[in-house]
Amino acid sequence: MACLRFESELRQGEIIPLDSDKIVFGRHKSCDIVFPYPTVSRQHFFIERNGGKFFVVDQKSNNGTFVNGERVTWIELKDGDLIKVGPFTLKMEIAEGRDTSALKRETFLDKLATIVSEEEPLPDSSAIRQMYPREYLAGIEHFNAGRFFEAHESWEEIWTRSEGETKLFYQTLIQAAVAIHHFERENYRGARGVYRNVIEKLPALPSVFLSLDLADFSRQFESFFRDLIEPGNDSPIPADALRPTLQLLDTDSNG
Q: Is the pLDDT of residue 240 over 70?
A: no
Type of residue at 87: P
* Alpha-carbon distances of 125 from 12, 18, 122, 210, rounded to whole Å: 12, 27, 8, 19
Work out the number of other CB atoms within 10 angstroms of the CB of residue 80.
11
Residues sharing a CB contact under 8 Å with residue 90, sequence separation 6 or more, in sequence order: 4, 5, 6, 7, 8, 16, 82, 83, 84
Q: Percent of the chain, pLDDT > 70?
A: 77
Mean pLDDT of 114-133: 48
For residue 119, give the amino acid letter: E
pTM for this entry: 0.53
Q: List, in sequence order, the alpha helices (H) in 35-163.
A: 108-118, 127-131, 134-144, 148-159
Q: Which helix (H) or strand (E) holds 174?
A: helix 164-184
